[in-house]
């Protein structure tokens, strides 16, 4: 079993507060009429939340390099799939 350095509770609390703030930002942006920009803003907020979860709660900050590369490749593959879905949606 790989042991990770234990982060202070303050770090987890600040990350949690940031995630809640981003959630409220997503909720607030749902009430704004920005057209296609609404989806782009919400996608950017979702990416920021996913990165916070990956770095802090999945302990990628203190993990081995191979695990970071695999997680980054998965995140890149997800971005490619979302991009392809957006191009398909835009072509219709």
The overall average pLDDT reported for the chain is 88
- 3-state SS of the chain is CCCCCCCCHHHHHHHHHHHHHHHHHHHHHHCCCCCHHHHHHHHHHHHHHHHHHHHHHCCHHHCCHHHHHHHHHHHHHHHHHHHHHHHHHHHC
Q: Domain of 54?
A: 9-91
User: What does the pLDDT read at residue 86?
Assistant: 84
Specify if 41 maps to a domain.
Answer: yes
Specify if 2 maps to a domain.
Answer: no
Specify if 74 maps to a domain.
Answer: yes
In the predicted model, what is the mean pLDDT of residues 23-31? Answer: 94
User: What does the pLDDT read at residue 4?
Assistant: 66
In the predicted model, what is the mean pLDDT of residues 38-54? Answer: 91
Specify if 76 maps to a domain.
Answer: yes
User: What does the pLDDT read at residue 19?
Assistant: 97
Specify if 1 maps to a domain.
Answer: no
For the chain, how many structural domains are there in total?
1
User: What does the pLDDT read at residue 15?
Assistant: 94
User: What does the pLDDT read at residue 14?
Assistant: 95
Specify if 64 maps to a domain.
Answer: yes
Specify if 34 maps to a domain.
Answer: yes
pLDDT tens, position by position, 50-71: 989 988 888 887 778 888 888 8
Specify if 46 maps to a domain.
Answer: yes
């Amino acid at each position: 079993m790989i042991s990770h350095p234990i982060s202070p509770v303050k770090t987890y609390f600040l990350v949690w507060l940031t995630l809640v703030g981003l959630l409220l930002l997503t909720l607030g942006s749902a009430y704004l009429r920005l057209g296609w920009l609404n989806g782009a803003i919400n996608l950017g907020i979702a990416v920021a939340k996913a990165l916070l979860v990956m770095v802090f709660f999945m302990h990628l900050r203190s993990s081995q390099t191979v695990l970071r590369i695999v997680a980054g490749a998965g995140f890149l593959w997800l971005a490619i799939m979302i991009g392809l879905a957006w191009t398909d949606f835009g072509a219709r």
